[in-house]
């Protein structure tokens, strides 16, 4: 059964550390869930906030647990778990803790003021024009910023109807999405949903995040849903999460632009072309890791870890900073190689570099569909062609749909 919550913007009230929603059943559930959380409340009222992981199973239950946590002055960390539990790091300056995807290895835990996350959700709402008439798909896990802020909170502050489509079977997912008007997710999930070119009669907007809008998917959607607007948003969990947005109405969209900064957000390029940002919705810092927090700051800007270009105000992201390597003296973007492979195969791809005993770098490409150097040669310069190509039936992925980059490296770098 599809979960539908009618939550009006006027029903959201922030004050005295409480988050309240004007839905009686949610408030009643929150009162019940307080009993689950009371054992985590510090005896000393002057103590710093305790961080408690709360179950992030359904949208309604997550909201109820959040309300209960805020009432008890706890800092909730939404996670996909069965019962609430205290984290090993038990003090927080913020009101809520998020988890980064961990696609490159270690998971980090940015802390936020709740109002910052709601402010970012309002930026997304206004940029995409989401309102109370919309049916917004909930597709991403609620323990990450895309699901919690980019989908659930954005729908909530817009007063939109939420369609929970986080189910493992595609047939059921398509059934739940039949009335959706706004559908946004990572490229892997979008490719999966639109694989058989299903028709969604009410769909008006398809959004992507995490990189350029996939070209093959873009062309397919224009053929199957010519009236639908496409959007590409860029950000990082630490930003709360969105920084920029680009629409298919933007002439630079087809060239891979992730758009211009959202209102109140500033971007600039740092050393090596790293994208730096300053945003009123940014994190307060990393939970329990002041050293990492300081390493992320560059003055009053924060690092994204991505490298890119700014052309006529438009941001183009070339990949992760550690994805740019030198091969025979030439700088090579591993993300570009993976993007070309994805476009040619309409499947997942991951490229990484390894060094031999002489320190010479070579590129390994792992893909989900058959691909050879001959296929790549018309699309990549000779110095960017991978030395090795591995074909697998399915690449390891995280719950968010992102590639598990660290696991892929472990599996293939010794081969």
Looking at per-residue confidence, does 46 or 275 come out higher?
A: 275
Q: Let me know: does 132 contact 156? Beta carbons within 8 Å.
A: no
What's the rounded mean pLDDT across residues 85-111?
Answer: 81
Residue among 269, 363, 357, 297 at smallest CA distance from 325: 363
Q: Which of 126, 125, 148 is nearest to 138 (CA)?
A: 148
**How confident is residue 4, by pLDDT bands cut at 50, 70 and 90?**
very low
Which DSSP helix (H) or strand (E) runs through 52? strand 51-55
Mean pLDDT of 9-34: 64
Q: Exposure pattern of 135-151 as b/e (b: 16+ CB <10 Å)?
A: bbbbbbbbbbbbbbbbb
157's enclosing H/E stretch is helix 154-158
Percentages helix, strand, coil for the chain, rounded to the nearest 5? Answer: 35, 30, 40
pLDDT above 90 for 260: yes
Residue 407 tokens read as: 């696991």
Residue 116, pLDDT score: 93
The CA angle 362-363-364, to the nearest 5 degrees, is 125
Give me 266's structure tokens: 């500033």
Could you tell me the pLDDT band of residue 18, with boundaries at 50, 70 and 90? very low
Q: Which run of H or of E encompasses 135? A: strand 135-138
Confidence of residue 214 (pLDDT cuts 50, 70, 90): confident
Q: Is the pTM of this model over 0.75?
A: yes
Rg of the chain over Cα atoms, rounded to whole angstroms, equals: 22
Question: Using one digit for the tens of pLDDT, what is the confidence trace for 49-76?
Answer: 899 999 988 888 998 899 889 888 899 9
Best CA proximity match to 124, nearest among 265, 333, 283: 265
Give the model's pLDDT for residue 388.
Answer: 85
Distance (Å, whole) CA 244 – CA 317: 11
Q: Where are the domains of the chain?
A: 1-320, 328-412
CATH code linked to domain 328-412:
3.30.300.30
- Chain-centroid distance of CA 315 in Å reads 18
CATH of domain 1-320: 3.40.50.12780
Q: How far is CA 223 from the centre of its chain?
A: 27
Band of pLDDT at residue 310, cut at 50, 70 and 90? very high
Question: What is the distance between the alpha carbons of residues 207 and 223, in angstroms, rounded to a whole number?
Answer: 16
CA distance 151 to 170: 20
CA distance 246 to 313: 12
| CA separation for the pair 62, 64 (Å, rounded) | 5
Phi and psi at residue 136, to the nearest 5°: -100, 130
The secondary structure of residue 160, as a DSSP letter, is P
Tokens of 133: 């008439």
């Amino acid at each position: 059964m599809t979960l539908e919550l009618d939550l009006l913007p006027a029903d959201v009230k922030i004050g005295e550390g409480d988050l309240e929603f004007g839905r009686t059943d949610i408030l009643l559930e929150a009162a019940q869930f307080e009993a689950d959380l009371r054992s985590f409340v510090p005896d000393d009222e002057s103590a710093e906030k305790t961080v408690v992981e709360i179950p992030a199973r359904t949208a309604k239950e997550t909201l109820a647990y959040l309300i209960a946590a805020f009432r008890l002055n706890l800092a909730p960390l939404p996670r996909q778990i069965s019962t609430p539990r205290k984290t090993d790091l038990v003090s927080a300056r913020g009101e809520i803790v998020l988890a980064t995807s961990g696609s490159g290895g270690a998971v980090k835990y940015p802390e936020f003021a709740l109002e910052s996350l709601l402010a970012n959700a309002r930026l997304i709402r206004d940029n995409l024009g989401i309102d109370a008439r919309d049916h917004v798909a909930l597709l991403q896990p609620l323990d990450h910023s895309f699901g919690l802020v980019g989908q659930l909170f954005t729908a909530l502050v817009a007063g939109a109807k939420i369609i929970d489509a986080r189910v493992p079977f595609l047939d059921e997912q398509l059934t739940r999405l039949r009335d959706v008007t706004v559908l946004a997710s990572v490229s892997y999930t979008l490719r999966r949903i639109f694989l058989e070119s299903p028709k969604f009669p009410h769909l008006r907007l398809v959004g992507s995040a995490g990189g350029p809008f996939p070209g093959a998917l873009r062309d397919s959607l224009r053929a199957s849903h010519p009236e639908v607007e496409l959007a590409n948003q860029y950000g990082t969990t630490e930003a709360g999460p969105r920084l920029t947005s680009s629409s298919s109405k933007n002439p630079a969209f087809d060239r891979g632009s992730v758009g211009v900064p959202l209102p109140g957000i500033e971007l600039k390029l740092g050393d090596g072309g790293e994208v730096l940002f300053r945003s009123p919705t940014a994190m307060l810092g990393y939970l329990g890791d002041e050293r990492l927090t300081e390493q992320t700051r560059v003055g009053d800007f924060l690092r994204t870890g991505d490298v890119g270009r700014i052309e006529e105000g438009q941001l183009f992201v070339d990949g992760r900073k550690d994805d740019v390597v030198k091969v025979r003296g030439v700088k090579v973007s591993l993300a570009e190689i993976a993007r070309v492979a994805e476009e040619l195969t309409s499947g997942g791809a991951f490229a990484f570099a390894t060094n031999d005993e002489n320190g010479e770098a070579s590129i390994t490409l792992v893909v989900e569909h058959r691909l050879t150097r001959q296929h790549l040669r018309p699309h990549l310069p000779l110095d960017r062609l991978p030395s090795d190509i591995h074909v697998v039936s399915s690449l390891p992925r995280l719950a968010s749909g992102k590639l598990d980059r660290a696991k892929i490296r472990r599996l293939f770098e010794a081969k």
